[in-house]
Amino acid sequence: MAIIGEACGVPEPWELVARRLSWSRTVAREAVHRASVAEVLLTDVRALGGDRFVAAVQWPRSHPTFPHGPDGRHHPLMVAETLRQLGIYLPSRHFATPAGSRFVIRDLSFTLDPAAEPRAEHGATDVVCRAAVTDVRTAPCGRFVTGLRLDIGLLVGGTPFARAGGTARFLDPQAYETARRAASEAAARPRAGVLARPSPRSVAVPAARDVLVVREAGILRLDPVDLRHPFFFDHWSDHVPGLVLLEAARQAAALATEGVHIRPVGCRLRALRFTEFAPPARVECVPHGRTCVFRLRQAGEWTVVGVLQYP
């Protein structure tokens, strides 16, 4: 891997490389697995050497799904989406991932410092990300990267305000097909009772199409209103995407606390297996002080477990 700005074998400090970052245009949408250019946050990436990188990310002032709060702070899931996009871009551009490989999240986490968070003002927010790749795993042949861990620190104006990290697998088409055959093949079941969909206000989302959960016979289930949602289902997927699971957990926490816990400042999520679209997974969320523990159950198996943290 080339080291940008290397002199006499010593890489430049990341601060100097960051000054050359550009926020003028986004990277190719295909490089971050987005169908819409409007959903691409990543604009520039520079290699520092030693599997370290610095990247430019732009958060829009007004996102239709994740609008900023009354005090101007961006939605916390923008941190998770930033991690997701870098987690796809870096392996495909700087590591030997298999051609046509599929990105599968194993775990992710983030923490926010509410006192240091940037406020959305007249325009978009230019974010600098420091990224480090570790725990790189390769196929038995040694030619392809099959997994890695990515940790990032987010800064605005030189001030750090968030950290995030996660691990992922990269499956070639054949390996992915094998993994999907082993996944649950449960068929959609008939509805057992009356569906009660929460109001957008009760789960703190802008519109009815953003609601991802429904009550059925007193049980909260994952059941997105709109499977063509411009953010959550920007492109086709044969299983429920990771950010849909995280947002469903956030909505479940809002309902479980009657609106007390709306905006998390931290999370940990671990995917145990694929979550299928049918039958609708059961979403369980239990508040414990400033945290909400959540898990999703489907066809008798836990698919996702995690915890949300609140200020």
Reported as a single tens digit per residue, the pLDDT across 95-144 is 988 778 899 999 999 999 999 999 987 789 999 999 999 999 998 887 88
Angle at 119 (CA atoms; ends 113, 294), nearest 5 degrees: 45
| Spatial distance between the Cα atoms of 171 and 175, rounded to a whole number of angstroms | 5
Residue 21: pLDDT band with limits 50, 70, 90? very high
Listed in sequence order, the DSSP H helices in the chain are 14-18, 77-94, 173-182, 242-256
| Spatial distance between the Cα atoms of 73 and 32, rounded to a whole number of angstroms | 24
| 63-103 residue pLDDT tens | 888 877 778 899 999 999 999 999 999 999 999 887 788 99
The H or E element that residue 267 is part of is strand 266-271
Query: Which of 256, 243, 246 is closest to 203 using CA atoms?
Result: 256
Exposure string for 116-140, b = 16+ CB within 10 A, e = fewer: ebbebeeeebebbbbbebeeeeeee
Listed in sequence order, the DSSP H helices in 151-233 are 173-182
| 200-238 residue pLDDT tens | 999 999 999 999 999 998 999 999 999 999 999 998 899
Exposure string for 231-264, b = 16+ CB within 10 A, e = fewer: bbbbeeeebbbbbbbbbbbbbbbbbbeeeebebb
| Spatial distance between the Cα atoms of 125 and 11, rounded to a whole number of angstroms | 28
CA dihedral 82, 87, 93, 99 (to 10 degrees): -130
For residue 187, count CB atoms less than 10 angstroms from its CB and return exposed for 0-12, middle for 13-18, buried for 19 or more. exposed
| Spatial distance between the Cα atoms of 22 and 163, rounded to a whole number of angstroms | 21
| Spatial distance between the Cα atoms of 70 and 270, rounded to a whole number of angstroms | 31
